[in-house]
């Protein structure tokens, strides 16, 4: 029974769902972030749809499919880099709000840090932990401290589920969450100066 619950929690916490929750929450509560519905839809495209397509593509491509989870993970990194970099270019060209640009940069920095940790430093950082930490931090930042308790509870549920079904080690989850936290802090420091 607990295994089934843990798997459901992992499924409902996949990155596209969490970024969708973040964007919709901000669209309906923070009118200063999105100028119009087009910005919301394009944010869905860059932050959600493009990175998500790594998963169906990995099943359709025989050369990636034979690599299993590693091939899928590598393609997800590439899709995320493309989507987040595309969001930043779109945001700069169209002069989106400072808040929306802040979100785009935080996502881009997070995938860059994940790549540095996983490929250069050779410390395995969980992309799942990074992709759940980022939206929760951004939600608290933009909506306020009233989101803190629900976000912390949701975060802990996801961490429990990942550990329970042995998808990640505590170390991988820690470094994944650290990547998102550092991405946010670096971006925040840039905006301060």
The predicted model gives 107-131 an average pLDDT of 94
Q: How many domains would you assign to the chain?
A: 1
Residue 119: domain span? 2-192
What distance in Å separates the CA atoms of residue 78 and residue 111, rounded to the nearest whole number?
A: 9
Which pLDDT tens digit goes with each residue over 34-47?
999 999 999 999 99
| 79-111 tens-digit pLDDT | 889 999 999 999 999 999 999 999 999 999 999
Residue 61, pLDDT > 80, answer: no
pLDDT digit string, tens, across residues 15-30: 888 999 999 999 999 9
């Amino acid at each position: 029974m607990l295994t089934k619950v843990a798997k459901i929690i992992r499924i409902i916490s996949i990155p596209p769902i969490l970024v969708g929750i973040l964007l919709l929450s901000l669209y309906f509560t923070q009118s200063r972030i999105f100028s119009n519905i087009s910005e919301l839809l394009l944010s869905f495209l860059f932050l959600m749809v493009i990175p998500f397509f790594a998963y169906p593509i990995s099943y359709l491509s025989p050369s990636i499919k034979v690599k299993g989870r590693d091939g899928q993970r590598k393609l997800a990194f590439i899709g995320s880099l493309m989507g987040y970099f595309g969001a930043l270019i779109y945001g700069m060209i169209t002069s989106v709000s400072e808040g929306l640009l802040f979100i785009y940069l935080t996502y881009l920095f997070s995938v860059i840090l994940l790549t540095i940790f996983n490929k250069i430093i050779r410390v395995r950082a969980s992309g799942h932990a990074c992709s759940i930490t980022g939206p929760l931090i951004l939600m608290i930042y933009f909506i306020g401290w009233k989101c803190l308790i629900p976000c912390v509870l949701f975060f802990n549920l996801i961490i429990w589920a990942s550990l329970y079904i042995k998808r990640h080690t505590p170390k991988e989850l820690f470094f994944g969450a650290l990547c998102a936290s550092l991405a946010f802090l670096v971006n925040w420091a840039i905006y301060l100066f």
